[in-house]
Chains A and B, each alone.
Chain A
Amino acid sequence: MAKQLGRDQQGITLRGSAEIVAEFFFYGINSILYQRGIYPPETFTRVQKYGLTLLITTDPELKNYLNNVVEQMKEWLYKCSVQRLVVVISSIENNDVLERWQFDIECDRTAKDESAPREKTQKAIQDEIRSVIRQITATVTFLPLLEAACAFDLLIYTDKDLAVPEKWEESGPQFIANSEEVCLRSFTTTIHKVNSTVAYKKDSFP
C-alpha cells in the first residue's frame, strides 16, 4: 500500500535546508533589529512564525534590503559556500561597535551528492529555531542598554573564490574591543547547522 508522507514528515533536501536557514536569518535579523531598538517599534508588524508572534519590519527600504540579503544567502547556503553571518550594531555618533551577533554556519557538503532527502521533520527544526528566536528576545534582559542611536551592518563570510555581488564590499570583522560573549542555542537541519553567539562591551556590564 503506497504511503504518502505528510508535509511535515517530508525529508530535508539541500534546497529545502537552504530555504529554512535563509528564512531563519530573515526572522532572526528582524527580531534583533526590533528587540535592540535599532528601528522604531512602530515600524514593525506582527506575524506568526515558528509558533511564535514575531515582529518584522514594514520599512520598505529595510524590507527590500533584507529580502535581497536573504535571497543571496539562500543561493550561497545551497552551494555550501557561506560560513558565517554577523549582525554588527554600532553607534551612529562615533561608529563604536557595541554589539555583534554572530551566526556560524556548518554545511555538510555530502548532501550535494545525495538524491534522497534526510530524515528530520520540519517540526523538529522549527522547535529548535523557536528556541533560538526566544533566546534572542530573552537577551534583552541582560544586554547593556543601547542608549545612543545605532545602525547595523551585515557581514557575511564566504569562500574566498566567490564573486562579490554588486553593491556589496569587502569588510573587516568589526570586533568589539573588550567584549563579553554569550552563546545561544544552535539548530540543525542535518545539512546546515547554525551556532549563534552575541558579544557586547564588557565594561557596560559590571
Chain B
Amino acid sequence: MGLLILVGGDVIKKSSSVDLASKKCQKMLMDLEGVLQHLEVMFSLTLVPRVLILLGGNVMSPKELYELNLEGIYEGSTEESLKTASCVRKLFHSLFVADVFSELKALPVTDTVVMLQGHRDCGVDWFRPKLNYKVPTRGRKLTVNLSCDGDINLSASPPQPATSAWEDYVWFQAPVTLKGFHE
C-alpha cells in the first residue's frame, strides 16, 4: 500500500513500507550469500573447528549465540565423502526434533554476525582476525555438535590435529553484519 502526499496541488508518492522492507530483505540476502561464499573459501583454506552465529547485542554480549562445533568432522577423500543433501537433512531433522526454537521469545529487528575459527596462517583475507576474542558466556547459547559417526576407516582419514594444535587456531569475524528487517 503506497502513501500519497498532496503538496501544493502535486501528488507525491512516497516509497511504501513494503518496498523498503523488500529492499532490506534483498540487501540482507545478498550479504548472506556473500558470507556463505566466503565461508566456503575459508573451509578450503583451513580446518574450521567452530563457527559462531551471534544474534543481537554485540559480539562480546549477543542476545543469542549459536555455536557449531565441527571438531568431530573427519576429513576424507572425495570417494568417501558423505552426501551434502543427506547431511543437511540429518542436521535439520536433529534440530527439529530437539525443538530448540519454540520457547524462544521473538526478538526485535536484530543483526547477525558470523565468526569462525581458522588456522592463524591460513591466508584468508576477507574474514578479519580477532586474536583476543573469547566466546561469550552470558546470554542464550546453543551448541550443535557435528561429527562423523558410524563405521569410519581410520586408515583412510588423515590424522586430526591434537588438542594442543587447536592453539594455532584463532577467531575470525565476517566484516559484514547481516541486518534484520521487518516484513
**Residues of A participating in the B interface, judged by any CB pair closer than 8 Å:** 51, 53, 131, 134-135, 138-139, 141-142, 182, 185, 205-206
| B residues 80-118 in Cβ contact with A at 8 Å | 83, 86, 88-90, 92-93, 95-97, 99, 101-102, 106
CB neighbours of B95 from chain A (8 A): 141
Indicate if the CB atoms of B102 and A142 lie closer than 8 Å. Answer: no
Indicate if the CB atoms of B97 and A182 lie closer than 8 Å. Answer: yes
Bound CA span A131–B93, Å: 16
The 8 Å CB contact of B96, one of A139, A205, A206, is A139
The 8 Å CB contact of A142, one of B92, B99, B101, is B92
Nearest CB on B from A78, distance (A): 29
Indicate if the CB atoms of A185 and B89 lie closer than 8 Å. Answer: no
How many B residues are at the interface, by size bracket? Answer: 10 to 19
Indicate if the CB atoms of B86 and A135 lie closer than 8 Å. Answer: no
Indicate if the CB atoms of A182 and B102 lie closer than 8 Å. Answer: no
Indicate if the CB atoms of B89 and A131 lie closer than 8 Å. Answer: no
Indicate if the CB atoms of B89 and A142 lie closer than 8 Å. Answer: yes
CB neighbours of B90 from chain A (8 A): 142
The 8 Å CB contact of A134, one of B89, B97, B102, B183, is B102
> 27 A-B contacts, Cβ less than 8 Å apart?
A51-B106, A53-B183, A131-B102, A134-B101, A134-B102, A135-B102, A138-B92, A138-B96, A138-B101, A139-B96, A141-B88, A141-B89, A141-B92, A141-B95, A141-B96, A142-B90, A142-B92, A142-B93, A142-B96, A182-B96, A182-B97, A185-B99, A185-B102, A205-B86, A205-B89, A206-B83, A206-B86
Nearest CB on A from B151, distance (A): 14
In the complex formed, the residue of A with least CB distance to B96 is A138
Bound CA span A51–B105, Å: 13
Nearest CB on A from B181, distance (A): 13
- The 6 closest A-B CB pairs, nearest first, are A141-B92, A142-B93, A142-B92, A131-B102, A142-B89, A206-B86
Bound CA span A135–B86, Å: 20
Bound CA span A138–B92, Å: 9
CB neighbours of B99 from chain A (8 A): 135, 185
CB neighbours of A142 from chain B (8 A): 89-90, 92-93, 96
Nearest CB on A from B74, distance (A): 18
Extra 16 A-B pairs, beta carbons < 8 Å, given A134-B101, A142-B92, A185-B102: A53-B183, A134-B102, A138-B92, A138-B101, A139-B96, A141-B92, A141-B96, A142-B93, A142-B96, A182-B97, A185-B99, A205-B86, A205-B89, A205-B93, A206-B83, A206-B86
The 8 Å CB contact of A135, one of B83, B88, B96, is B96
Bound CA span A106–B83, Å: 41
Nearest CB on B from A134, distance (A): 7
CB neighbours of A205 from chain B (8 A): 86, 89, 93
CB neighbours of A135 from chain B (8 A): 96, 99, 102
Bound CA span A146–B89, Å: 14
Bound CA span A142–B102, Å: 17
In the complex formed, the residue of B with least CB distance to A131 is B102
Nearest CB on B from A99, distance (A): 14
Bound CA span A131–B97, Å: 13
